[in-house]
Amino acid sequence: MSKLLERFAADHKRLKRLLFVLRAQLDRFDDDTDPDYERLLELLEYVSDYGDQWHHPAEDRAFALLDPARLNRSQSKALEKVTQQHRELPRLARDVREDLEAVMRGMVIPRSKLEEDASSYLSQQIEHLALEDDILFPALAEQLDDEQWAALDKAMATPGDPLFDARDGARFDRLYFDILEAEHGADS
């Protein structure tokens, strides 16, 4: 498997760990407790910084090499949907960030707005990852040859992941701890 495709799949595993934390924070609404607003903001900051700036553009570049004539119906539909989600997900994340920033500035916003915005972001992300993992990554593996992968690998120099393997100073340390804690809590 190409290094880049491996990186896409690894990014998704990491993103799923973050979505698990997001889900756990949203569940606090059901218990009538407040989520950790600061942690949620960090989570979205990471997803925007890394996900929207590198991960999605790199995927778009790879998807652009797929030959539409060789895609089956479900692959074509998935490609259309995923391309649209690459545009919509940053907007959905921005809505949630704006809600969180408003709450943290002491503004009164309906709790239901934050809950709805965060839930729709979460469900879009889950659907998005499944479409790529289950339909489009296999299509890439099937269609792209070694030469195309080598050119992509070269063009899309992979940056360090600022949360999981290249934490700069204390940035995201608490978020990383929360991920481990949420996972540990789920295991026990």
Reading the block at residue 46, the tokens are 């990471």
Residue nearest Fe ion by beta-carbon distance? 132
- Residue (99 or 132) nearer to Fe ion, CB: 132
Q: How far is the CB of 89 from Fe ion (least distance, A)?
A: 10
Residue nearer to Fe ion on the CB measure, 132 or 161 = 132
**Least distance to Fe ion from the beta carbon of 179, Å?**
18
Min dist CB 82 to Fe ion, Å, is 8
Binding residues vs Fe ion (CB under 5 A): 132
Q: Which is nearer to Fe ion, 42 or 132 (CB)?
A: 132
Q: 83 vs 119, which CB is nearer to Fe ion? A: 83
Minimum distance of Fe ion from residue 111's CB (angstroms):
30
